[in-house]
Amino acid sequence: MNTPARTTPTMRRSLRALDLVNLFQADVGAGLGPFLAIYLMASRGWKPEMIGIALAAQGYAAVVAQTPAGALVDWIRPKRMAIAFAAIAIGVGAIIIVRVNSLAPVVGAQILIGVVAVVIPPAIAAISLGLVGRPGFARRAGRNEAFNHAGNLMAALTCGAVGYFFRRSWIFYMAALISGVTALAALAINENDIDHALAREAPPEDHGHPAAATPLWSVLRDYRIAVFAACAILFHFANTAMLPLLAMRLSAGHAHESTLYMSACIVIAQLVMVVVAPLAGRFAPRWGRKPVLLIGFAALPIRGILYILTNSPYLLVSIQILDGLGAGIWGVVWVIIAADLARGTGRFNLIQGLIATGVAIGASSSNLATGFIAQHFGYDAGFLALAAIAVGGFATLSLAMPET
């Protein structure tokens, strides 16, 4: 069960299709956030507080859906169908956003995106584990993230060009198109190539019969899960609103060029992530998960402080190198830690859901709180508050989280 065959033609096709899923899904749900902030401010004249509510709606919907989504992925066999359904629903949400101009429908679309988008990451991780086995999982996780960030890079370049030379609204139609392509790529994965027991980190078989998963209460007693979830909350509270906050700051002083600047921010970060993600997957087994992750956590408070030290759009954009470093490491290492915590429990995707719930709590709270701070106290106060929270995240990971 540890090492599924990887040499058959269908397996190779499935792995290539998985590459395409990671490339084209391009983090569409969360990735719309910065462009949504620009669109609502520059094209529709929304205030930062209303934008914060719209962005937070997706995050809070994800909070509710995250853990059930992980349990669902553990339970169902057709994981590729789950990815396809979620991708199409995200596309529908993107079209709703651009076709209406009032708070309630936009919030409703954001809730739809938040609920379905959380299915995709655990399904991708489960399929990956079921295809390559435990020995190849760390490298596969790095490869997944590299393709994902390359897709984000392509999407950012296209969104920047479309928003600048044509209309910002076209960005959302393009997101719907990418979602459809993602669904087709997911359906190209051969279901028979996946070891479904391994895909949920099931316990070893007992006399030829599948063993039952570890009881939920027993899983929840592992204090490492709670500590790591707290780290996830703090990291994403500090990280998530930084880019939308930067988008609002750039829109305030450079309205026409703001889409291009935001595209450049995302391009720089994604270029760094494409390099960092496979390196994180390579070094996490050698150095340990915690030392690699601490590097990513350390980059975040530095980034927040640097944003308040300059008004130059070129310097603000260049600071995104640190975003690429932090997010590139997190995207790979967190799922490896989740697999470590889940080994032998049959609850891999549930544990992913629990950690991802922490991510969603931090992310949605970040957008809501920072939108309020920016409107009433200014952008610098927002960046400073996020940097302070990032320091707390680094301290929690360093002092409270053991190596897995």
Q: What is the pLDDT of residues 306-356, one digit of tens each?
A: 999 988 888 888 898 999 999 889 988 998 898 888 877 777 878 888 888
| Both tokens assigned to 356 | 């991802």
Conformation bin of residue 312: beta by default, left when phi > 0, alpha when psi is -120 to 50: beta
- Only one residue has tokens 């396809």, namely 84
pLDDT of residue 30: 54
Decide if pLDDT at 253 tops 70. no
Q: Which residue has the higher pLDDT, 166 or 288?
A: 288
Name the band, by pLDDT with cuts 50, 70 and 90, for residue 7.
low
* Domain at 359, CATH number: 1.20.1250.20
Decide if pLDDT at 208 tops 60. no
Q: Which residue has the higher pLDDT, 383 or 244?
A: 383
The verdict on residue 4 lying in a domain is no
Decide if pLDDT at 26 tops 70. no
CA distance 25 to 185: 9
CA distance 307 to 242: 9
The verdict on residue 208 lying in a domain is no
pLDDT of residue 306: 93
Q: How many domains in the chain?
A: 1
Name the band, by pLDDT with cuts 50, 70 and 90, for residue 5.
very low
The verdict on residue 302 lying in a domain is yes
The answer to which of 72-86, 194-208, 370-384 has the lowest mean pLDDT is 194-208
The verdict on residue 68 lying in a domain is yes
pLDDT of residue 236: 93
User: How far does the chain reach from its first CA to its final CA, in angstroms?
Assistant: 22
Burial 139-160 (b: 16+ CB within 10 A, else e): bbbbbbbbbbbbbbbbbbebbb
The verdict on residue 206 lying in a domain is no
Q: Maximum Cα–Cα distance for the chain, whole Å? A: 68
The verdict on residue 283 lying in a domain is yes
- Tell me how far CA of residue 370 lies from CA of 36, 75, 306, 379, 389, in angstroms: 16, 37, 17, 9, 12
Residue 44 dihedral angles phi and psi, to the nearest 5°: -120, -5
Residues of the chain above pLDDT 70, percent: 90
CA distance 231 to 360: 12
The verdict on residue 3 lying in a domain is no
The verdict on residue 209 lying in a domain is no
Q: Global pTM?
A: 0.74
Helix axes 120-132, 9-25, angle to 10 degrees: 160
Q: 337: closest CA among 322, 356, 324? A: 356
- Domain hosting residue 296, numbered range: 9-199+214-399
DSSP string, 254-286: -TTTHHHHHHHHHHHHHHHHHHHHHHHHHHHHH
**What is the pLDDT averaged over residues 366-393?**
88
Name the band, by pLDDT with cuts 50, 70 and 90, for residue 232.
very high
**What is the pLDDT averaged over residues 243-260?**
73
